[in-house]
Amino acid sequence: MTKIPTTFDTSDIVIEDRSVLFKRFFAIEQIRLKHRTFAGNWTNSFERELFERGEAVCVLLFDPQRDCVVLTEQFRIGALTDERSPWLLELVAGMVEEGESYEDVAARETDEEAGCSFSKLHSICRYWVSPGGSSERVQLYCGIIDSKDVGGIHGLAEENEDIRLTTLSFADAWAAVEAGIINNAATIIALQWLKIHHEDMIRP
């Protein structure tokens, strides 16, 4: 692959002011800054609002022996106007807390949201969710599990989590992506990765 050059880094940005506009469950900051331009100059000072979301970890639970995936189903406020339902089929997921590694979060959330553990963890990718205005970045994994006794309703009551587990054959999960039933980025990306690596993942 041709090496893609990095033109700029954080030293090419000047933060002139930073303030918190709102902070409850999430936070919104207002930042005034300027940065270098491709023409070799500097932009004028400008302001942007930044939705501080932090880092998250999402895990696609896959059972290669049964060729199925285990997905969570729960209410999502951002999908309030979804044409099908605000209850989305998603990956096991959680936010990274101070001092935690990505692998720590993957194990914790797999236990809390699915009541199981993975025997192996494959790193898929790490990506910015919506960098035009949010700080959220996601680390995606595929966790290998035995789905035999996995199911039911999970989540932490103190966090108002009400999570139902759904087990789908990989073929049905992929069909749900193509039909637009699975319609959130992390789950689509993870299932696309599994589609590419499927033969290797189910090979003994």
Note the Cα 59 to chain centre separation in Å.
Answer: 8
| DSSP, res 3 | P
The 3-state DSSP class for residue 186 equals helix
CA distance 75 to 133: 23
Length of the chain in residues, anyone? 204
| Active-site pick, 83, 98, 159, 178 | 159
C-alpha–C-alpha distance, residues 56 and 203, integer Å = 30
Residue 169 structure tokens: 């054959």
164 residue type, one letter: R
Long-range contacts from 173-179, C-beta under 8 angstroms, 24+ separation: 173/68, 173/69, 173/71, 176/89
Dihedral of CA atoms 72, 78, 83, 84 in degrees, nearest 10, equals 10
**Using CA atoms, how far apart are residues 202 and 204, in angstroms rounded to an integer?**
6
Q: Does the annotation count 83 as an active-site position?
A: no
Active site residues: 159
